Amino acid sequence: MSDAMATSSSPWMWVGKLAPPQMQMDAAPRGALLKRLHDYRRMSLVLVTSPPGFGKTTLLAQWRQVLLAEPSSGLVAWLSLDEADADAGRFLAYVLLALEGVGVDLQGLSHRAHDQSLDADPERTLGALLQALERHGHRITLMLDDYQRAACPSIDQVVLTLLERGSRWLQLVLATRSRPQLPLAMLKARGLVHEVDANDLVLSLSEAGHILGAGMDRAELAVVHARTEGWAVAIQLTKLWLERGAGSSHGLRALSGRVAEVAEYLAEQIVESLPEAERAFLIETSVLERFNAELADVARGRHDSADLLTRLAPYEALLVPLDAEHSWFRYHLMLADFLRPRLDPVRARQVHRAAAPWLARQADWVLAVSHALHAQETPLAIELVHQAGGWELVLRKGIQYTRSLLQQFDDLTLRTEPELLLMQAYLHAKLGDEALSTELLRLAEVVIAPREAPQLKRDLAVIKTLVHVYFDLLAEPGQWPTSAEAANAKLADDPLGQATLLCGGAVAALAWGRMDEAAGAAQAARARMRVAGSSLGENYCLIHWAQALGISGQLQASRQYIDEALALAEANFGTDSTLKALVGCFKAQHLYWQGRWTEVLSWLHAGQETLEHVDGWLDVFATNAEVSWRIALRQEGLQAALALLDRAAQLGRRRSLSRLSRLVQVWRVDLLAQCGLVPQAHQEAAAANLEQLLPLTPHVLPGLGLDWRFIEAGALALARLQMAAGAAQAAQVRLERAARVLDEHGLALPAWRLRLLALLARRRAQDGELAAADAQVVLAPLLQSGLHGLLLEAGPAVLPVLQQMEAALPPSAVAVISQLRGWQTHPPRQRAQFSAKEALVLELLVAGQANKSIARALDISENTVKFHLKQIFQKLSVDSRSAAISAALQQGLVTPGAMQSRP
């Protein structure tokens, strides 16, 4: 564990949270309630709901002791919540720590939980947690005390997920002032919930007598019980009031009014009867969430807190000890509510101001910033954010943690403070909000420009690079350094800053087709990420390096770096991290290239949801989308492939990635052409302006520009369209010219891909005649590099070429022949949605036939055609012919072969 982790793993972070309060007072044993709870031991959720002071915590603590005393009851974990836990990442971290404390092996999750830096996607953490529970194999009761203090939609969703997916191994017990926003009616209908409410928690006369002591007269006991209505905290207050000589049962008889007013009166009487020093201590420390003598001394500016805490020991019903040594304390929530308004506002700010730096030293930046802001010390809060790491918190602690810091500031501060602007710009870049991220970046530039602030200017340069990378704003070559020397000239003696600029240089070089520069920049960036201690950054460097090597044809080295990145991601961020999902996209690409398509889908599925909503840049999304739709076409058919392309198009629009949107247009042409839908493919090509952008003329493709991906995809798409339309020779010329340009720029793999299709175009143009030597030249680099997936991508059309050379092929390539033969015999078929007649009408409609032509072709009346069209429109949820055609194509509801045979 790094020093940074050790610091942030200070016991302060969870003191008093993972065990019930250490109260030594004589609490009334709740025998009847405990038996009732025991009877519902197998319930997934036990909900204990009441206003404050009814003894929820005491009941849970007693039940915990009962369960611990019965080995057959399983394990019991405890978590006390507060307002700072209203963040899914922080909440899950504490849940994990609580479970780890009772013996659950969290594996890679453990250090992330200790460091409060879990994955940005709570679903991934939940998935890993559920796997850990299943490995553990023993039922655990998890008690969440004061749930209302952290309750919010994200926390409720986490709890609901645990209920729905983890109830086999986990029972949740929630103690809360108000019912949580869970679908309780639905959960109750499924028999998953047992509720205990305030009426159940009211103390009986005998239970009240147990607290007040056997020496109390029965008549006096009856008066106390009547006046307090069996409210546990009011009875405890009465006991303190009577024991400290502050009043008498006779005085209690005179009290009238609501029980809450009685309790407030008792609290006031008790506090006011204390010596001045002790009373002042209670009031001054009431703003602290939890504290020991050291923090109390710092917050108060005194040195007598230990002595005062000793003197206040008899009041543990109100000043609750949190540990066995009675060194840490928190206030009963009702007493805290009573004390805080009595603290002078000026003095309150002083206490908050003094507490903030102490909390910062414990690395609890969220609470430290909260206290600074309560002190109305915004500059101090911003300084604490800076000490915490500023924008680098997104890298070190993750998106959720950074959000929990930023959301404490008001809107004006968030829009005017440069450090916070930079943090937000990077955060929203990671989240894919291009408009907001770039707006915040522009604001930061305006604020920083006139200042003499080298660190801010350095941070601006780094964040600007990251924002440009995430939103593919790479319009200028050489925008960022690609060599160690150039990076050092930009940001001397700054390993992390240099590494970030070099990563920007690597991504830009990849976009511009400069693979040698990209590999050099990634290698130099990795060395600096190691110096900076950023394993996350090192992962990105390995990805860029592997990409550059793979595209340039160095497949073995590229695979090695991807596997190294996967191992590094898993070791540092867990088996179910967003980072592993991101690296997994490139692992999927390599498996696709190798022809190991059955292994690809798990990697793609793992990353699909997370990457679309949390992290990624164009290379990630383009890789994921292309591999997904090409495999879907072969294994599931047109409908599935079109759906994936629609999803990629939506992603491109949402993240303002124009290159991805344009690639999707090109891929649609490719897909439709492969399916024999020539008119539709021509229509898509015209919409994408492909013929004009990639003309078949002698001066085609004078250079790569920023669009080598577009050149590769466009050449494949237009060539397949030309082949489908019978212009195989033109397709061959187009492909060979594009391959030559790509080859000249060192883009070996895309060039090999194009030459393979050019070979098939030549064979078709020559009526199946093809010299073995010509085939050998094209296939040799693919076979030598193990790129059998590109043979599968070419489809059954490559089968005759491979069969011609079958005797000389390696065993792995022979296996490809068997697979292609299977595809040829059993092509993917679509699930029918329509009657046989409706399906025929739909095919002719998509083929462009009018109602009269459809009627003539099917030997039915035009009225019958209209009837079938009405049914088709209804099933497709459309109201026009054009909308029906579009929906049929998107859903893959046509059979291309049948369509081609229709008149």
**pLDDT (average), residues 208-223:** 74
CB 591 within 8 A of CB 562: no
By the 8 A CB rule, do 319 and 259 touch?
Answer: no
- Please compute the mean of the pLDDT values over residues 334-352 and round it to a whole number: 89
Are 553 and 785 in contact, with CB atoms under 8 Å apart? yes
pLDDT of residue 612: 62
The 10s digit of each residue's pLDDT in 264-291 is 766 777 777 788 999 999 999 999 988 9
Highest mean pLDDT among 465-479, 566-580, 830-844: 465-479
Model pLDDT, residue 609: 59
| pLDDT of residue 231 exceeding 80 | no
291-322 confidence digits (pLDDT tens): 999 999 999 999 999 999 999 887 776 788 88
Per-residue pLDDT averaged across 395-413, rounded? 86
CA distances from 27 to 208, 240, 689 (A): 9, 13, 79
Asked if residue 548 has pLDDT above 80, the reply is: yes
Return the percentage of the chain with pLDDT > 70, whole number: 89
User: Distance from CA of residue 836 to its chain's centroid?
Assistant: 45
Residues 564-584 as b/e (b if ≥16 CB within 10 A, e otherwise) read bbbebbbebbbebbbbbbbbb
Q: What is the pLDDT of residue 7?
A: 36
* pLDDT band at residue 443 using 50, 70 and 90 as cut-offs: very high
Backbone angles phi, psi at 192, to 5 degrees: -105, -10
Q: What is the DSSP string of 719-745?
A: HHHHHHTT-HHHHHHHHHHHHHHHHHT
Q: Which residue has the tokens 């459309």?
A: 878
Lowest-confidence segment of 165-169, 266-270, 327-331, 438-442 by average pLDDT: 266-270
Mean pLDDT of the chain: 85
- Res 249 pLDDT > 80: no
Q: Which region holds residue 630: left if phi is over 0, alpha if psi is between -120 and 50, else beta?
A: alpha
pLDDT of 24 higher than 80: no
Contact 791, 813 (CB under 8 A): yes
What dihedral angle (degrees, nearest 10) is formed by the CA atoms of 394, 400, 405, 411? Answer: 100
pLDDT of residue 253: 56
Helix (H, G, I), strand (E, B), or coil: what is residue 194?
Answer: strand
pLDDT at 567 over 80: yes
pLDDT tens readout for residues 472-498 = 998 776 789 999 999 999 999 999 999
Q: What is the pLDDT averaged over residues 216-242?
A: 73
CA angle 729, 734, 736 (to 5 degrees): 95
Handedness of CA 238, 242, 245, 246 (dihedral sign): positive
DSSP 449-463: TTS--HHHHHHHHHH
Q: Is pLDDT of 657 > 90?
A: yes
- Cβ pair 99, 77 in contact under 8 A: yes
Q: Is the pLDDT of residue 607 over 80?
A: no
Flag whether pLDDT at 339 surpasses 90.
no
Which span out of 101-105, 660-664, 883-887, 894-898 was modeled with the highest average pLDDT? 660-664
Tokens (6 digits) for 339: 């004390």
| pLDDT digit string, tens, across residues 694-705 | 876 434 444 446
Q: Yes or no: say if 565 and 542 are a contact pair by the CB < 8 Å rule.
A: yes
